[in-house]
Amino acid sequence: MSASTCTLPSSVSQMSWMDKINGPYHKQALWLYTAIVLAHWCEHLAQAIQIYVLDWPIAESRGVLGLWYPWMVKSELLHYAYALIMLIAFWILRKGFGGQSYTWWMIAFWIQFWHHIEHALLQGQAIFQHNLFGSPVPVSVLQLVIPRVELHLFYNTVVFVPMVIAMFYHMFPLPGEAAHQGCSCAWQPRAPKA
């Protein structure tokens, strides 16, 4: 057998880290990732409730962690970290998806890519203490036409929904696609009792 011959790993221990996380541990990785995404949603939904329902001033409405650690929001670090972690996770978990689910996962990835650029702009302004467009506070590009709170609710919606659809098709694969999944994420109905 030549050294260039392609061989399949015979056990999980022989798999690379990427193969493991997109194969036998894909389900656990997606659980962890979903928990992170939902924690991020908690921040945005809490902030929206603080503004729309409790009528708090926008500057004082910092979501959940921002109430105890205001610097995390003022420094833009909290949401930049969420954006970066989500972008990286979208990329490293993509190989576990196939067919329709892969298409939706990559749609979510590219939208998150732009969302991350917007957060990187905000983070840069906070670090260098120099705001774009002569604004008194850090601003992103689309913030020129849409207020920040609503804009980021929208960004997270258009990232979250394709992500959920991707997971939906991953758990309920179309006929013929399930056989190509190397993980245990696909859902099966209860087997009839003998």
Q: Which residues bind other proteins (CB under 8 A)?
A: 38, 41, 45, 48-49, 51-53, 145-147, 150-151, 153-154, 157-158, 160-161, 164-165, 168, 171-173, 175, 178-179, 181, 184, 186-191
d(CA 14, CA 159): 34
> Whole-number minimum distance, CB 75 to other proteins, in Å?
25
Q: Are 35 and 106 in contact (CB under 8 A)?
A: no
Least separation, in Å, of the C-beta of 121 and other proteins? 18
Minimum Å distance from CB 36 to other proteins? Answer: 13
Contact 166, 97 (CB under 8 A): yes
- In whole angstroms, the minimum distance from the beta carbon of 89 to other proteins comes to 17
CA distance 99 to 90: 16
In terms of CB distance, is 112 or 181 closer to other proteins?
181
Q: Which is closer to other proteins, CB of 77 or CB of 117?
A: 117
- State which residue, 18 or 35, has the beta carbon closest to other proteins: 35
Residue 68 CB, nearest distance to other proteins (Å)?
Answer: 21
Number of alpha carbons in the 13 Å side-chain half-sphere of residue 96: 28
List phi, psi (to 5°) of 42.
Answer: -55, -40
Residue with smaller CB distance to other proteins, 125 or 181: 181
CA distance 107 to 166: 9
Give the torsion through C-alpha atoms of 122, 148, 50, 44, to 10 deg: -70
CB closer to other proteins out of 75 and 184: 184
